[in-house]
A = this chain, B = another copy of it.
Amino acid sequence: MRLRQLVPAWLQHYQRQWLSGDLTAGLIVTVMLIPQSLAYAMLAGLPPEMGLYASILPLFAYALFGTSMSLAVGPVAVASLMTASALTPLAAVGSPEYISLAVLLALLSGLMLFLFGLLRLGFLAYFLSHPVISGFISGSAVLIAIGQLKYILGIKLVSGNLLSTVSGLIHGLAQANPTTSVIGVAALLSLFAARRYLGALLQACGVRATTASLMTRLAPMAVVIIATAIVASLRLDLNAAVAVVGHVPSGLPMPSVPVIEWQMISVLWLPALLISLVGFVESVSVAQSLALKRGQRITPDKELLGIGAANLASALSGGYPVTGGFARSVVNFSAGANTPAAGMVSAVLMAAVIAAFTHWFYYLPHAVLAATIIVAVVALIDIKTLQEAWHYDRADAISLLLTFGGVVLLGVEEGIIIGVALSLAVLVWRSSRPHMAVVGRVPGTEHFRNVDRFQVETQAGVIALRIDESLYFANAHALEEKIENLVDAQPQTRRLILIMSAINQLDTTALGVLTELERTLAERHIALQFAEIKGPVLDRLRHTELGLRMKERIFLSTHQAFISTTA
């Protein structure tokens, strides 16, 4: 019974007709994944085989714990950039320490995500506003693209911030490797051309739209094969000093528990947390938009377990932080993936690649990998959200721009921290002024409406104030201020009715403010009355100091409070 619970639902009810879709999607995603896994490992400053390691066991782990039927898990651009950014200050890029720190980073990310999943913190998926995510991804894409130019041109350059990279590129132009540059630029142009025109061309030749769109996704593999063949046949690695991938060890790594250095954990926990959260937010948003198209459902709490398990699996098999990628998931979906079995197919194929075919990558030039990265990330730059936000909500647009600027100018970690802070600051700022209206009675009825907009009756000495939002620490003081203004303007006030029909929650701070308010109003001989308190709010209020003091002054309807004579 218990064992059966561990088998995911999709596997228990697997239907034979799903198989062909899963096999096709698994195969197509693998063809995308091979160059991407090598390229993103390079972006993370890691040896290429780590990209392959991160593309096998994590896919199985996600298939067992995740809830998305289409999410393609593995190495992705943004998490690779964040890995590089976290580890570069700690160890020499590519050194054994650097590699073991990358594994530790995956382990910490996995543990955190899994723990968050057990604590059911899935709501964290919606911790960031869409404009902030958009600014963060666009900024990361710009950083990544510019960082790859050195490989396109064959310039040796230590990675650093944007400024040093740009100035290094400009000063290094003279030392660019001409052959590498020709290969890199040719790869870039053909990949951009394929992305732009290949689909239309294939459709013009009679290929179906979906098939044509999938085939354009295979262009990177074609470019990789052609470039590798050219470099190998002309031995450009020796004859023209073109940087190539070189020897990639074959065989699967032995599962091993990463070396845990406590001192390093104190440095890595924050980057691990940020990588985890960003990866999780990204995965859920991709998984959710794909699920919606088929009327399926994903569960953020379980996604935490799924992506957490994938990272633990990555760490145990010598990989680095993984998450659900945007482009590969979309391709997986379009290619007909019905279940995570598609991911398992990819994992098996990747295992075959690493078991027997790693020598094929020897002549693969770095410049071509860099070109695939650039083309992939340029597609992530999102101008549309900025335009929409600019017209719809200036504060959101500014959050987007500040996050983008933070990533590009200060760095990827600083950028995401700025983004989180901005999301929350905008939230607090927006809700720091709750909507409130003084109301009066519509003549002849028991209805109460805004005195500024309707012809209503009021009583001398009585103010009825409707609060249109829940009260909590950030906005409770605004109520206090509003009431002081009202009472100052009408010094003859003897009763103040608070209409609490829209209040779903009242936190401890708001309770304190109301308690103090009741006391100061009483000192000024003004009786506070409550009307239309919702059941759950009243239940909690009843046993508080305020609830006891107010006992006789809580009314079911505004009308009852209005006609009451308590004073």
Cα separation A469 to B432 with both chains bound (whole Å) = 15
Q: Mark A411-445, 1 if CB is under 8 A from B, else 0.
A: 00000000000011011111110010000000000
Complex partner residue of A428 from B123, B388, B511, B512, CB under 8 angstroms = B123
A267 within 8 A of partner (CB): no
Complex partner residue of A508 from B131, B469, B511, CB under 8 angstroms = B131
Each complex incorporates copies of this chain amounting to 2
Within 8 A of B (CB), among A474-529: 474-477, 480-481, 484, 488, 502, 504-505, 507-509, 511-512, 516, 520, 523-524
Q: Which residues of B contact A470 (CB under 8 A)?
A: 431, 469
CB atoms of B520 and A293 under 8 A apart: yes
A159 within 8 A of partner (CB): no
Cα separation A468 to B469 with both chains bound (whole Å) = 9
A2 within 8 A of partner (CB): no
Q: Which residues of B contact A429 (CB under 8 A)?
A: 123
Which of A389, A473, A484, A516 is packed against the most chain B CB atoms within 10 Å? A473
Quick check: which of A87-95, A232-240, A390-398 contacts chain B, the rest being far away?
A390-398
CB proximity of A326 to chain B, nearest CB, Å: 16
CB atoms of B129 and A288 under 8 A apart: no
Complex partner residue of A504 from B125, B468, B543, CB under 8 angstroms = B468
CB atoms of A127 and B427 under 8 A apart: no
CB-CB under 8 A for A130 and B293, given A388-B544, A428-B424 = no
CB atoms of A508 and B428 under 8 A apart: no
CB atoms of B393 and A507 under 8 A apart: yes
Chain B residue at minimal CB-CB distance from A385: B508
CB atoms of B427 and A393 under 8 A apart: no
Category for how many chain A residues contact B:
35 or more
CB proximity of A383 to chain B, nearest CB, Å: 14
Query: What DSSP secondary structure best describes chain A's contact surface?
Result: helix
Complex partner residue of A540 from B392, B423, B472, CB under 8 angstroms = B392
A297 within 8 A of partner (CB): yes
A245 within 8 A of partner (CB): no
CB atoms of A469 and B504 under 8 A apart: yes
CB atoms of B509 and A544 under 8 A apart: no
Chain B residue at minimal CB-CB distance from A289: B516
Cα separation A388 to B516 with both chains bound (whole Å) = 14
A295 within 8 A of partner (CB): yes
CB-CB under 8 A for A130 and B477, given A520-B292, A524-B295 = no
CB atoms of B130 and A473 under 8 A apart: yes
Q: Which residues of B contact A544 (CB under 8 A)?
A: 388, 391-392
Cα separation A432 to B128 with both chains bound (whole Å) = 12
Within 8 A of B (CB), among A364-402: 385, 388-389, 391-393, 396-397
A357 within 8 A of partner (CB): no
Q: Which residues of B contact A125 (CB under 8 A)?
A: 477
A454 within 8 A of partner (CB): no
A18 within 8 A of partner (CB): no
A197 within 8 A of partner (CB): no
A14 within 8 A of partner (CB): no
CB-CB under 8 A for A509 and B130, given A502-B468, A504-B435 = yes
Cα separation A331 to B390 with both chains bound (whole Å) = 51
CB atoms of A427 and B472 under 8 A apart: yes
Q: Mark A124-141, 1 if CB is under 8 A from B, else 0.
A: 011111110000000000
Chain B residue at minimal CB-CB distance from A288: B477
Q: Which residues of B contact A430 (CB under 8 A)?
A: 472, 505, 507
Cα separation A193 to B120 with both chains bound (whole Å) = 50
Q: Which residues of B contact A543 (CB under 8 A)?
A: 391
CB atoms of A126 and B484 under 8 A apart: no
Q: Mark A523-539, 1 if CB is under 8 A from B, else 0.
A: 11000000000000000
Complex partner residue of A511 from B392, B431, B473, B502, CB under 8 angstroms = B392
Within 8 A of B (CB), among A286-321: 288-289, 292-293, 295, 297
CB atoms of B474 and A127 under 8 A apart: yes
Cα separation A368 to B54 with both chains bound (whole Å) = 63
CB-CB under 8 A for A508 and B396, given A473-B126, A474-B127, A477-B126 = yes
CB atoms of B424 and A512 under 8 A apart: no
Q: Which residues of B contact A481 (CB under 8 A)?
A: 297
Cα separation A429 to B131 with both chains bound (whole Å) = 20
Cα separation A543 to B387 with both chains bound (whole Å) = 13
Given contacts A129-B509, A130-B473, A469-B504, 9 further A-B contacts (CB under 8 A): A123-B428, A126-B432, A126-B475, A130-B509, A130-B512, A288-B477, A397-B508, A426-B507, A469-B469
The residues of A with any CB-CB pair to B shorter than 8 Å are 123, 125-131, 288-289, 292-293, 295, 297, 385, 388-389, 391-393, 396-397, 423-424, 426-432, 435, 468-470, 472-477, 480-481, 484, 488, 502, 504-505, 507-509, 511-512, 516, 520, 523-524, 540, 543-545
Please list 26 pairs of residues, one from A and one from B, whose beta carbons are closer than 8 Å in the complex, sorted by A's number: A123-B428, A123-B432, A126-B428, A127-B428, A129-B472, A129-B473, A129-B507, A129-B509, A130-B473, A130-B509, A131-B508, A292-B484, A293-B520, A295-B484, A388-B511, A388-B544, A388-B545, A392-B508, A396-B508, A424-B424, A427-B473, A427-B474, A430-B507, A431-B470, A435-B504, A469-B469
